[in-house]
Amino acid sequence: MPSIVIVGRPNVGKSTLFNRLTRTRRSIVGDEPGITRDRIHGSFEFRGRRFALTDTGGMVPGDEAEIPAAIFRQAQTALANAAAVLLAVDGRSQPAAPDIELARMLQRSGKPTLLVVNKIESPRQEAELGSFHELGLNPLYPVSAEHGTGMEELLQAIADRVPQEKEAAEPTPEATPSEAPETRIAIVGRPNVGKSTLLNQLTGEERSIVSEVAGTTRDAVDAIVARGKGRYRFVDTAGIRRKGATKLMAEKMSVVMARKHLEEADIALIVLDGSEAAEGGVLASDATIAGYAVEANRSCIIVVNKWDCAPALGRSKPEFEQRARERLKFLAFAPMVFLSAREGAGIENLYGVIARVARERRKRVTTAAMNRFLANVDFSRASVPAGHRVRIYYLSQVAVAPPQFVLFVDRGRPLHFSYKRFLENQIRKAFGFEGTPILLKTRVSGKRA
């Protein structure tokens, strides 16, 4: 799909234009600066052709101080990959310095650029657009994104400027060399634990981002990183970087986003703030978010960030780990990794753990091996209340990612909790399955072993 990118200074109506062209509403639109800054992806159709559309947010040259550097660079990456650029300006005012600067930059880039003069709602206004001709990007496309006028002309111009042959010449995904399965990763946690700093470290910002893919059914941007034999997709990177303004809103949003991001993921990086003194570093919302991850059957890695602060705080890893695990008992299967995202310390190690956890999630144990294992389990060591004992005839792994086992038993009743936990621990001891939940189901079997 050819990629069309909208650029322009803040408030000229880029998101309104984006919504108009894609006929969507952004899921989270805030008046608070920053919320709509991240890149947003969508698509639209015109005369049977589909185009991808990206809104770069408020990109202003020379404004790196205000816009997070990584986002600014990503906008530039989007521009580099664009088939055509829509430079949006506000037709109700004179061209401003950033408009002129952007127009120059785009002319230098040689990209097909259409100057979209927005907020034109009367013939009189349209007659007064002379100063915009001086930007050197003629013809102009006067539109009202809000009312939908001028869209047909704009769409036709886009279609004319983007050659159709290019679509067919694009390499198909099958042609890409990497055959390793992709691991989708969600970075979740409270505000300010360091999620976006960690994301930047893991993706090396734009250096190792192989591609960014617009979700087809969601307003999301994923970053894909190829490392060794693995491909790692960090889901909804825009969502990770998105900042709420008020503390309460940001806190609520982090929980909502965690849920959404977990839906898309294989592995959850549950980020804790290692410099947090209260509650063993695990606050209520940390536990809530971690709970979602387990409920959703995601593999989990507990990432203790800001560990550079540990010496000054007199903290030790075993002490922190013990206190945190106390509050995250349901995450006993998740490895805990200590690092400093800001200093980039421990990132290689984390990638190693991610690769291992990804493998374990997809691991399959043969029924023969499973039953050899079963024969050696000493069930008398399971502390199960009287009347809850069952006989297990066979044990078979029926699914991977997450691993799921079916126990063929002699009685049609749910497995007692402690029996389940005992068996799960035995399976982990024998086969690993680090980081992933294990699902156990029972089926009554008539057959005797």
Minimum distance, C-beta of residue 16 to ligand GDP, in the bound complex (Å): 3
Token look-up 């088939």 returns 83
- Give yes or no for residue 142 binding ligand GDP (CB under 6 A): no
Minimum distance, C-beta of residue 356 to ligand GDP, in the bound complex (Å): 22
Which residues 6+ apart lie within 8 Å of 302 measured at CB? 270, 272, 290, 324, 328, 331, 334, 335, 336, 337
Which CB atom, from 354 or from 415, has the smaller least distance to ligand GDP? 354
Site for ligand GDP (CB under 6 A): which residue of 34, 95, 194, 280? 194
Sole window of 8-16, 291-299, 322-330, 359-367 interacting with ligand GDP (rule: CB under 6 A): 8-16
CA distance 392 to 375: 10
CA angle 316, 322, 324 (to 5 degrees): 95
Minimum distance, C-beta of residue 346 to ligand GDP, in the bound complex (Å): 9
β partners of residue 396: 406
Site for ligand GDP (CB under 6 A): which residue of 119, 298, 315, 361? 119
- Give yes or no for residue 26 binding ligand GDP (CB under 6 A): no
Sole window of 12-20, 79-87, 230-238, 259-267 interacting with ligand GDP (rule: CB under 6 A): 12-20
Site for ligand GDP (CB under 6 A): which residue of 56, 237, 305, 442? 305
Kindly report the length of the chain: 449
Of residues 35-94, which lie at the interface with ligand GDP (CB under 6 A)?
36, 58
Site for ligand GDP (CB under 6 A): which residue of 197, 203, 436, 442? 197
- Give yes or no for residue 237 binding ligand GDP (CB under 6 A): no
Token look-up 């001086």 returns 134
Token reading at 329: 């008992």
Q: Which of 413, 432, 444 is nearest to 359 (CA)?
A: 432
Total of residues contacting ligand GDP (CB under 6 A): 30
- Give yes or no for residue 16 binding ligand GDP (CB under 6 A): yes
Minimum distance, C-beta of residue 268 to ligand GDP, in the bound complex (Å): 14
For residue 414, what is the DSSP state? P
Cα distance between the two ends of the chain: 57
- Give yes or no for residue 263 binding ligand GDP (CB under 6 A): no
- Give yes or no for residue 403 binding ligand GDP (CB under 6 A): no
CB 53, CB 162: distance < 8 Å: no
* Residue 342-381 contact track with ligand GDP, rule CB under 6 A, x = bound: x---------------------------------------
- Give yes or no for residue 203 binding ligand GDP (CB under 6 A): no
Query: Residue 217, exposed/middle/buried by CB under 10 A (0-12, 13-18, 19+)?
Result: exposed
CB count, 10 Å around CB of 65?
8
Sole window of 109-117, 142-150, 280-288, 324-332 interacting with ligand GDP (rule: CB under 6 A): 142-150
β partners of residue 4: 53, 84
Site for ligand GDP (CB under 6 A): which residue of 63, 101, 126, 146? 146
- Give yes or no for residue 117 binding ligand GDP (CB under 6 A): no
Site for ligand GDP (CB under 6 A): which residue of 54, 56, 113, 144? 144
Of residues 173-192, which lie at the interface with ligand GDP (CB under 6 A)?
189, 191-192
Instruction: List b or e across 229-263, with b for residues whose CB sees 16 or more CB atoms inside 10 angstroms.
Output: ebbbbbbbbbbbbbbbeeeeebeebbbebbbbbbe
Sign of the torsion angle spanned by Cα atoms 258, 263, 265, 266: positive
Q: Which of 21, 38, 26 is nearest to 73 (CA)?
A: 38
Q: Which of 261, 260, 280, 263 is nearest to 272 (CA)?
A: 280
Helix (H/G/I), strand (E/B), else coil: 75: helix
Minimum distance, C-beta of residue 60 to ligand GDP, in the bound complex (Å): 11
- Give yes or no for residue 309 binding ligand GDP (CB under 6 A): yes
Helix (H/G/I), strand (E/B), else coil: 250: helix
Site for ligand GDP (CB under 6 A): which residue of 54, 113, 196, 299? 196
Token reading at 6: 């909208």
Minimum distance, C-beta of residue 113 to ligand GDP, in the bound complex (Å): 17
Tell me how far the alpha carbon of residue 108 is from its chain's centroid.
33
- Give yes or no for residue 10 binding ligand GDP (CB under 6 A): yes
Site for ligand GDP (CB under 6 A): which residue of 13, 34, 435, 437? 13
- Give yes or no for residue 298 binding ligand GDP (CB under 6 A): no
CB count, 10 Å around CB of 285?
16
CA distance 205 to 199: 8
Rule CB under 6 A: which residues touch ligand GDP?
Answer: 8, 10-16, 36, 58, 118-119, 144-146, 189, 191-197, 305-306, 308-309, 340-342
